[in-house]
Structure 1
C-alpha cells in the first residue's frame, strides 16, 4: 500500500535526535555535519534536518509523494539526513516493535500486521491485518455464514437482521411453564398447550391456570353430580346437593325434629310427617323435660355470674348518675331511697350494702343527703365474729379539674357493739342501717364540684385491718 509523507509524519516517532552541540551557523545554513550523534526522541525530527513549520505545511496541504519533499529540500545531503533518521512504526502504540530508518518505513507498512488495509471481501471497512481473519469471520457485512438455528446461509448484514426473528430459535415460554419451543410455534403453544395459560372452567366460567383446573373441578360448586340416594331428581349442581338432601330428597333418611329433646326416630322423609302426628304427646313431654333442665342451668349460671361480679375488696366506689332528676323525684316521693350494689369486706367476710336518700332522711329531710350502711345476710356469717366492729367511712369526692385543690367530704364511725344494727342479721335485715342523716347539705353540693355532669361519686370503705375471718 502506498502512503504519503503526510500519513507517515502524522504519527511518526523518532527514537534519536541530533545532538544539540552543533554550531548555530550550521543549522542556519542548512548544512548537516557528518558527525551526527543520535539522542532519544518521541515525536519530532531534529531542528538541523526538518523544520517543524515546513512539515506542518506538508501535512496541512496533504502532500502525498516524496517528490514534494524533494522540491522543498533540494539539497541531497538534507534529504539523506531525513531519510536516514531512525523512527518507530506509526503503530507502535498498538504493539508493533519495528524501528528503523525512515526510508524503510514504507516497505514495513506494506507488511505491518497492525496497519489497516481494505477488507478483502470489499465491505468498505479498513481493518488491521492482524484483525482481518476475525473480521472476515465474525463482523464483515459481506461474510457468508449460517444461522445456528435454521442452518440457512446469509450474508453478515442479512444475518444481523435475521437474528432475533428466526422461527427455528428455541425460546422459553413467556408464561413460565418451563417449556422451550421454536419461535414459530410459540403463539400456538401459549393458546392451546401451555400449562400456565388461563382456561375458563366449563361449569362456572371463571378462569384458572390450566394445570390447576383439575383441582378446581374437585371443588367447583357448579359441577353436576347425582343424588347419592338415587332419587328421581335430575342432575344437581354440587353446591345444591346439601340443600337437596335436607329439604327435597324424597328417599333421604332423616332424624326426628325432636332428636335434641330425646326422640330417637330415624326414617325416610315420606314417613316423617306421619311420625310427628302420631308421637305428638311424647314430643311434648320431651320438650317439657328440656325446658325444666334449662331453667336449672339458667339459675345456676345466674348464681355463678353474681358471685363473679361481687366486690370482695371492702371498698365500694358508688357512681350515682342523673342525680338532679333523682333529687327532684325524691322531693315529690316521700322516703325515696337509692341502694348500692352489695359488696364484701373480704372473700369470706361481711356482706354490706350502702343506701342514700337524695332528699334526706330523719334530721336531714328536705335539706341534706343522708347515707347509711346495712349489713346483709352473707354466706359466711356463721364463721364471723359478731357484733360487726370495723370502722366505716363515707367520702363524697370533689370532682375538681385540679386534684390538688379538691376538697372531699369525709365522715366515718366506729360501730357500737350494743347497737342492734351490728348484730348478726336475720333473713330480713334492718331496713335502714347506720350512717349520717346530714351527710352533706343540698347547698354545699352547689358550691363545689361534688356534682359534675349530673354525677356523684361516693366511696364506702371498711377498715380491713379489723376483719376477723376463720
Structure 2
C-alpha cells in the first residue's frame, strides 16, 4: 500500500533538537516550511495536500530544491530521531525519520483498510474485533435461529427474529418465541381476558374458574328434581320457595312447635285445617314469653335498686300534680323503693301534694313505709332506724340555701314498724304538715316546676343479724 504524505506524517515528534554541522545547514534547517513534511519515497519531498498544494512532480522537485539547498540538510533532517505518529495512542516506537514509513507498515496502531472491504479504516490492533463484531461485511449467525447473515443484515434481523424468546406482554411470567407470541396471548396466556359464557363479563383466565363457582347466571337444576327447566343460580332460591312443586317446606308455625313438613300444595291445606292447633301453640309461646319478660323486669329492677339507705327523690311537673291532687281526693305520689343496705330493710316514701290528714289543703305531707323485702327473715323487728326528710332549697347561691329538715325515731310499739306482711299498710309514718303551700312560694324549693326531697335512714342504727 502506498501512503500519501498526509496519512503517515500527521504528527511528528522530535525527542531531541538537531545540532547542525554548519551554520549554513542550520539556516537551511530552520528555513523548512512548517507546511512541508518529508517522505522517504524516491528521496523527494511533497507539500501536504491539506493546504491545497499541487502534487505535480516537477513543482515538487523545484520546491525541494528550494528547501534543501544541499544534500547535507536533507540528510540531517532524515536522520532526526522522531516518535511514531501514534505515540499518543500508546505506540512506543522512536527512531530516525527515514525509518518511520517502514514502521508504519507494521505499527499496530496505524489504520489500514478493512480486509473485508467494508471501506472503513481500522487500526491493526482493532482489526480482529472489527471483523468479528462491527464490520458490516462480516459473516455471523443469529443466536436464536442459527441462520447466517452479514453484519448489516444481522442488525436488521435482530428484533425481528421469530425464534427470539420474549416475555409475554400480559405479565404471565412465561417466555415465548416471537413467532408464537400472538397465538399464546390469544389462546394460552393465563392472564388474558376471557368473557364468561354465562354472564358475558370479562375476567382474567386464571380467575374464571373461581367466578363460575359463584356466577349468578350459571345454569343449575332444581335440587328437588322438579319439572322446571334449568335455572340460573341466582333464581334458585326464589324457585324453591315459591315455584317448586316438589320442594318440602316447614310449617310457618315451626318456632311455636308445629312439626309439619310438606310441599306447597299440602302446606296450604295444612294451614287451613290446623288453625286451632296453631292458636294453642301461639298461646303457649305468648305465655312463655310473658314469663320471660317478667323475669327480666324483676332482674332489671333488682339491678336498678338503691342499696345506700339514702333516696334523692326528684318530683317533676309539680304544678300539674298539685292541680290534679286538688281535684282528686287522697292523690298520693310514691317514690322508687330503696334498701337501707344490700341486705337491709326495703322502704318506700310517699307524698301527698295537697296534704293528708291534718295537713290537707294546706301542706305537703310526706311518709315512709316498710315494704316486704327479700331478707326480712334475717332482720330484727320492729324497724328502729331514725328517718329524716329534707326538702332542698335550690338557691343559686348554696351558702344562702335554707333546707327544710324533719326526722323521727320509730316507735317500736307501732304496728307500722313491725315486719310487713305480703300486703303492707297503705299509709306509713311521717309528717302530715311537712311544709306549707305558702312556704313553697317564699323560697327556691321549686325550680323549673321540680322539687327534690331526700329520705335518709341513719346507718348507725342498723339492726341486722
TM-score greater than 0.5 by the shorter chain: yes
2: CA distance, partners of 1:417 / 1:117: 136
Aligned residue for 1:254?
249
5+ residue gaps, structure 1, are: 33-47, 400-404
Aligned length: 433
Over 3 Å counting, the alpha-carbon distance change for 1:50 and 1:106 in structure 2 is farther
Contact 2:258 2:278 in 1 (8 A): yes
The 1:116/1:372 distance shift into structure 2, 3 A limit, reads farther
Rg larger for: 2
CA-to-partner distance for each residue in 1:371-419, whole Å, 9 max, x for gaps? 98967645445556743348888877888xxxxx986958596954247
Partner in structure 2 of residue 274 of structure 1 = 269
User: Corresponding residue for 1:42?
Assistant: none
Report the Cα distance in structure 2 between the residues aligned to 1:69 and 1:316, rounded to whole angstroms. Answer: 140
Could you tell me which residue of structure 1 aligns to residue 98 of structure 2? 103
Q: CA distance change for structure 1 residues 108 and 285 in 2, over 3 Å: closer, same or farther?
A: same
Deviates more, 1:202-211 or 1:429-438: 429-438
- Provide Cα deviations, 1:141-200, integer angstroms capped at 9, x if missing partner: 333333333344433233223221223322121122333322233223212232221111
Offset at 1:294?
Answer: 0.8
Q: How far apart are residue 112 of structure 1 and its match? A: 1.2
The aligned counterpart of 1:181 is: 176
- Aligned partner (choices 368, 388, 391) of residue 385 of structure 2: 388
Structure 2: stretches of 5+ with no match in the other structure:
38-46
Change (3 A) 1:153 1:282: same
1:138–1:235 distance in 2 versus 1, CA, 3 Å: same
Match of 2:409 among 417, 428, 431: 417
Q: When the two structures are superposed, what TM-score results if normalisation uses the length of structure 2?
A: 0.69
Q: Which of 122, 128, 131 is 1:127 aligned to? A: 122
Structure 1 distance, partners of 2:82, 2:406, is 128
Provide the residue aligned with 2:217 in structure 1.
Answer: 222
Show the counterpart of 1:2.
3
Q: Distance in 1 between matches of 2:353 and 2:73?
A: 138
Within 5 Å, give how 1:52-451 maps onto structure 2.
55=34, 62=50, 72=67, 74=69, 80-310=75-305, 326=317, 329=320, 347-348=342-343, 377=371, 378-380=373-375, 383=378, 386-389=383-386, 409=401, 415-418=407-410, 427=424, 437=435
Mapped to 2, the partners of 1:359 and 1:79 lie a distance apart of: 154
In the superposition, relative to structure 1, how do residues 188 and 258 fare at CA in structure 2: closer, same or farther (>3 Å)?
same
Q: Counterpart of 1:114 in 2: which secondary structure?
A: coil
Deviates more, 1:422-431 or 1:213-222: 422-431
- How far apart are the structure 2 equivalents of 1:237 and 1:188? 34
The answer as to whether partners of 2:385 and 2:461 remain within 8 angstroms in 1 is no
TM-score, normalized by length of structure 1?
A: 0.69
Q: Give the 3 Å change call, closer, same or farther, for CA 152–265 of structure 1 in structure 2.
A: same
Distance (whole Å) between structure 1 residues aligned to residue 408 and residue 127 of structure 2: 127
State the Cα RMSD in Å: 5.3
Q: Give secondary structure in 2 for the equivalent of 1:242.
A: helix
Residues 48-101 of structure 1: CA distance to partner in whole angstroms, max 9, x if unpaired?
A: 9879x9648979994799987885565666655554444443434443333333
Verify the 8 A CA contact 1:393 1:412 in the aligned structure 2.
Answer: yes
In structure 2, what is the Cα distance between the partners aligned to 1:317 and 1:189? 85
